[in-house]
Amino acid sequence: MSLRSILVMGLFFAASFAQAGQTLTNVTAVVESGRTRRMLVLSSVDGRVYKAERNREMKAYLESLRGLNVQISWNQVGPERVITAITPVGNVSQDVNFFAPSANRDVEPTDVGTLERAVAIFNGLNDTNKTRSQCFKRAHMWSFDMWSRLGVISQKIYIFYTRRYIELQDFDWWFHVAPVVRAGGVDYALDRAFTKKPLTIREWKDKFLNKNITCPTITHYDEYYNNQWSRLCYLRLMPMWYFRPADIRDLDREGIVKNNWDLAELQDARRAFEGGEQTYEALDTGADTITH
């Protein structure tokens, strides 16, 4: 078996595959499932957990890919993506830093005044089919829409699931994110793909985790990264410009600040919505960034 390319044999599903595809990404982590005999590959570019059969050779190979840029070929089996091949791709990566280090713009989020106003903003967000989109892309476009159409400066709330939780639950994601607006001094998560109204941060967390599970709020990415076994989850509140967890990591470790909208990210994120190419056609301006 080549160390440059691996075909995952002996797949554990006999069902016909409704969807197949490829993902260019960076391997954030590789863990063993605590529920099944599978290896779980955490992808940086889309937040997914890709799955493969666990054996000695497979485990050694996948663990050798930690931190590397890879191309994953996969089959969709229900809600899961099962790896059929995973190949290192040298320096090719979508884990790109779009901004050089610069002075941080400390912008306070807009207080929209009342919960009723927050509900109206929530109801005005583009609806989406969550089976064809990813949370960080939905959150980015919703944040952009609130800023560009309403002049509302939002934030984003992240749940980071630890390896302990992923192993225990054989979970399909390692993070979730939604935009946040402030109303009457209270922060509300606007997650229209999963909820029917704005929820407080605590209510939003309880939507995705047992109410008895507490998720400490962190201020540095490594508080999550270096503490994978003492907790099941962590929360992180971020400015609206941060597109995905890799941006948070780069801010905290390298000082790479994001303080405006990146056109390439917005063009990518708009595909989270059906008809997004038409809805957000005005984003195709040829410019590199849209400055706040």
**Pick from 73, 88, 103: which residue ends a domain?**
88
Do 59 and 179 have their domain in common?
A: no
* Structure tokens given for 133: 């989109």
Residue whose pair of structure tokens reads 């994001």 in the numeric block: 258
Do 29 and 148 have their domain in common?
A: no
> Does residue 82 belong to any structural domain of this protein?
yes
> Does residue 97 belong to any structural domain of this protein?
no
Is residue 65 within 8 A of residue 21, CB to CB? The reply is no
Do 49 and 141 have their domain in common?
A: no
* Structure tokens given for 86: 């995973």
> Does residue 105 belong to any structural domain of this protein?
no
Supply the CATH number for residue 231's domain: 3.10.670
Do 274 and 172 have their domain in common?
A: yes
Do 66 and 127 have their domain in common?
A: no
> Does residue 221 belong to any structural domain of this protein?
yes
CA dihedral 75, 205, 219, 146 (to 10 degrees): 80
Give the pLDDT of residue 129. Answer: 65
Give the pLDDT of residue 10. Answer: 41
Collapsing DSSP to helix, strand or coil, 176 comes out as strand
Residue 230: burial class (beta carbons within 10 Å; 0-12, 13-18, 19+): exposed
> Does residue 58 belong to any structural domain of this protein?
yes
Q: Which residue, 67, 74, 109, is CA-closest to 246?
A: 67
Do 76 and 134 have their domain in common?
A: no
> Domain total for the chain?
2
Give the distance from CA 186 to its chain's centroid. Answer: 24
List the pLDDT tens digit at each of the 292 positions of the chain: 444 444 444 443 334 446 899 988 888 888 888 888 999 998 877 778 899 999 999 999 999 998 888 999 999 998 889 999 999 987 544 433 322 333 344 467 899 999 999 999 999 998 766 666 789 999 999 999 998 888 899 999 999 999 999 999 999 899 999 999 999 999 999 999 999 999 999 999 999 999 999 999 999 999 999 999 999 999 999 999 999 999 999 999 999 998 888 878 888 888 777 767 666 655 544 444 444 4
Residue whose pair of structure tokens reads 């960076």 in the numeric block: 26
**Beta pairing class for 80-88 and 49-53:** parallel
* Domain span including residue 283: 115-290
Give the pLDDT of residue 28. Answer: 81
Collapsing DSSP to helix, strand or coil, 76 comes out as strand
> Does residue 179 belong to any structural domain of this protein?
yes
CA-to-CA dists, residue 174 to 96, 133, 159, 230, angstroms: 20, 16, 8, 16
Is residue 180 within 8 A of residue 156, CB to CB? The reply is yes
Name beta bridge partners: 235: 159, 217
Residue 268: burial class (beta carbons within 10 Å; 0-12, 13-18, 19+): middle
> Does residue 248 belong to any structural domain of this protein?
yes
Do 14 and 66 have their domain in common?
A: yes
Q: Which residue, 158, 112, 109, 120, is CA-closest to 136?
A: 158
**Pick from 70, 88, 106: which residue ends a domain?**
88
Do 158 and 46 have their domain in common?
A: no
Supply the CATH number for residue 60's domain: 2.40.50.50
Do 145 and 196 have their domain in common?
A: yes
* Structure tokens given for 110: 């807009």
> Does residue 80 belong to any structural domain of this protein?
yes
Give the pLDDT of residue 245. Answer: 95
Do 243 and 144 have their domain in common?
A: yes
Do 83 and 124 have their domain in common?
A: no
Do 80 and 149 have their domain in common?
A: no
Give the pLDDT of residue 187. Answer: 97
